[in-house]
Structure 1
Amino acid sequence: MSARLPRDLHPVAWWLWAIGLAVAASLTTNPYLLLLLVGTATLTVLARRGDQPWSRSFRLYLWLGLLVVVVRVVFRVLVGSGYPGTVVLDLPAWSLPLPEPVLAITFLGPVTLESLLGGLYDGMRLAAIIVCVGAANALANPKRLLRSVPPALYEIGTALVVAVSVLPQLADSVRRVRAAQALRAGDPASRGRVRGLRRIVVPVLEDAFERSLALAAGMDTRGYGRAGSATPGQRRTTGALMLSGLLGVCVGTYALLDQTGAVSRPVGRGFLLGGLLLAAGGLVSAGRRVERTRYRPDRWRWPEVVVAVSGVAVAVAGVALARGIEVDGRFLLDPQVAVAYPDLSAVPPVTLLALVGPLLGLVAALAAPPPVLAARPDPVALRRREPAVAA
């Protein structure tokens, strides 16, 4: 019963859920599946986001995704004249001559339906990934996410939190600037002109600059960037472990993704496993010399598990749809079937797995507890502060 009380879900659970949706989106160009993934992320955000500044940034990610789709289609019109198919717009071609080793670039020319659909599908895939990341950014508290970072990665975690909170901070700055300008007398006719845009952009940039200086001062006061008490030998050992682990992971990943057979799969798996072990050793070695305390660490409860598992289930369904499931040497789902990557000259097909996979992400909206709103106090905290009533 207490799990349904308003509380903030663990930020790592939201990010695991969003990464699962993004993985599924990266493995398909089917517009129906991409729209389902975007709809799943949007409904979950609308159902479980709070009223904090970062929660209001999801609309910016939606507009950014739409801009990506438009730019991708426009580029197909500008430089996609050599794509075969049904011509829907015959534009005059113009070539830009280049030096001899490089071929000339041809702009415009005949625009085919397949070229436009290819640009639309690719743009929708990238837009879906952006929307999934925006959903995690709108649902997860970046400050609590920083507390969940391992001690060895606290500086990298700080940089990541600052990076992902840029858009929420800008959205909050735009809201406050517009509210302040609405209280002042001004020319109403200039709000839709360039002058009105300048009246918003300049205060927003000034506010962002002031917040950056305040953040830098706060981080310097708290000792971020200090060398610590590690000896030169300990630093060299940690650096060697991290570098060796990175090289092992790179070689193992290349061997697993390489289709030429230059490196065998068992050798690649060995390099990958060894690299992960060395990197883990480097993280442990670096974390021992970082003195950090954690006040009231976030607990991982059953809603966090359900949210994370739902994202993993969406990713597994996307992988199964794109690569097929092999049983006894026979593919139950042929990866060549145009479901994950539909043919541009036909209507994109769908299957039961294709429809159910993205909808599994909606389980997170049902399992996650209601968020704690800023205007509404935390009932758990109020219950802790209530004085005991004598009988």
Structure 2
Amino acid sequence: MWAIGLAVATTWTTNPLLSLLFIAAAACVVFSRRGDAPWSRSFRLYVWLGVIIVVLRVGFRVIFGGGDGTDVIVRLPEIPLPAWAAGIRLFGTVTWQSVLGGLYDGLRLAAMVICLGAANSLANPKRLLKSVPTALYDIGTAVVVAVSVFPQLAESAQRVHRARRLRGGVGKRHAVQALVIPVLADALDRSLLLAAAMDSRGYGRHGRSTARARLITGSLTILGLIGVCVGVYNVLGQDSPGWMKMPTLLTGIALGCSGLFVSATRKRTTRYRPDPFDFTALTVAACGIGAATVMYLATQTQPAHLTPTLSPLQWPVIDSLPLVAALAAMLPAALAPRAPRTAEVAPPAREEVPA
């Protein structure tokens, strides 16, 4: 909930200073509260993914029409295109307005990715299956497997890199080949082991439910998820008509709840060692929800500086409410407990053995 709240808060602004503040808040919480589990090292991959997103957005603005605006940076030779490609341009004049627009949009998307990646670095993504409702087991399993890709790759890369160092390594010329192939092979082996473990524990079983009941439950659940996604997009979007926002969201919630109710009456699940949702977890979730709520209030009361003006160029400014939202997002660094670390195993005591 904390990571989702941060991701929602970043969608309401293109201010680069605010995006960097939310990224800094997520990084501060991760570095101060993560443990030494293998998935704790995956945050660096999300940061690099955010950097790639920013570079690609700016690069696309330069390659495909960077001439919006009047403040010219450089004039590149434009590549002529045929008549059927009218409206598309390659290179040409590059302006500050176009480059900064790509930078601001890229930073917003990168902040969303990094904030969601922070959750994967602080907790095991596979534990999400314990909290998934019964009707969403199939969808939840696919989502958890997809979300855990980066942590698994980080763990595999760390293990392979350590093994290469113990063997003495290879030359830099073949370093990529020596790293990529073992990482992919290790990820495939672990995926097969995970599938076998889930199958042995009963994941995917249908029990006594009929094919018709499964069809009704699945249809209601999927339609509800689609309705919730469309409704959330309309609520968060600035250009959506007002009459579509709440009705779409409420319809999706109603369909989703119907699917959950039908599934709950037909399926029975058991949980071993359920995760407690104590006061500390509630406080951390409240920090994320509070950050999103304060940012929403800022869009209603202080919207001027949430979207910096590019014509004319102005330096971004941060108002008081967005600053409060960023500080609320950083509170789990002090309120949340540190993730448990792996216990160090003491070496066995040396004993004298008679000859």
TM-score (norm 1): 0.80
How far is the alpha carbon of 1:276 from its aligned partner?
Answer: 1.9
Question: Partner of 2:274 in structure 1?
Answer: 297
- The 5 Å alignment of 1:106-145 reads 106-145=89-128
SS at match of 1:298: coil
Tell me how far apart the structure 1 counterparts of residues 113 and 231 of structure 2 sit (CA, whole Å): 28
Matched, 1:218 2:197: yes
How far is the alpha carbon of 1:29 from its aligned partner?
Answer: 0.9
Matched, 1:287 2:264: yes
How far is the alpha carbon of 1:200 from its aligned partner?
Answer: 0.7
* Number of residue equivalences: 342
Question: Partner of 1:373 in structure 2?
Answer: 341
Query: Identity across aligned pairs (percent)?
Result: 49
Question: Partner of 1:25 in structure 2?
Answer: 10
Matched, 1:202 2:181: yes
SS at match of 1:96: coil
Distance change in 2, residues 1:315/1:213 (3 Å)? same
The equivalent position to 1:324 in structure 2, one of 300, 308, 312, is 300
AA in 1 matched with 2:185: E
How far is the alpha carbon of 1:238 from its aligned partner?
Answer: 2.7
Matched, 1:83 2:68: yes
Tell me how far apart the structure 2 counterparts of residues 93 and 115 of structure 1 sit (CA, whole Å): 16
The equivalent position to 1:72 in structure 2, one of 54, 57, 71, is 57
Matched, 1:278 2:244: no
How far is the alpha carbon of 1:71 from its aligned partner?
Answer: 1.4
Tell me how far apart the structure 1 counterparts of residues 229 and 191 of structure 2 sit (CA, whole Å): 35
Q: Which moved more, 1:139-148 or 1:195-204?
A: 139-148
How far is the alpha carbon of 1:237 from its aligned partner?
Answer: 4.2
Offset from partner CA, 1:136-192 (integer Å, 9 cap, x none): 1101222322111112222222222211111111111111111111122455xx22x
Tell me how far apart the structure 2 counterparts of residues 93 and 103 of structure 1 sit (CA, whole Å): 14
Structure 1 unaligned residues grouped into runs of 5+: 1-15, 326-332, 378-391
- The 5 Å alignment of 1:1-391 reads 16-99=1-84, 102-187=85-170, 190-191=171-172, 193=173, 195-239=174-218, 241-242=220-221, 245=224, 265=243, 269-270=246-247, 272-321=249-298, 323-325=299-301, 333=302, 335=303, 337=304, 339-344=305-310, 345-375=313-343
Distance change in 2, residues 1:249/1:205 (3 Å)? closer
Please say if residues 94 and 108 of structure 1, whose CA atoms lie closer than 8 Å, have aligned partners that are also in contact: yes
Structure 2 unaligned residues grouped into runs of 5+: 346-355
Offset from partner CA, 1:103-127 (integer Å, 9 cap, x none): 1521111111111111111111111
Distance change in 2, residues 1:88/1:219 (3 Å)? same
SS at match of 2:188: helix
C-alpha RMSD of matched pairs (Å): 2.5
Q: Which moved more, 1:214-223 or 1:45-54?
A: 214-223
Tell me how far apart the structure 2 counterparts of residues 255 and 166 of structure 1 sit (CA, whole Å): 29
Tell me how far apart the structure 1 counterparts of residues 229 and 38 of structure 2 sit (CA, whole Å): 38
AA in 1 matched with 2:48: W
Please say if residues 98 and 104 of structure 1, whose CA atoms lie closer than 8 Å, have aligned partners that are also in contact: no
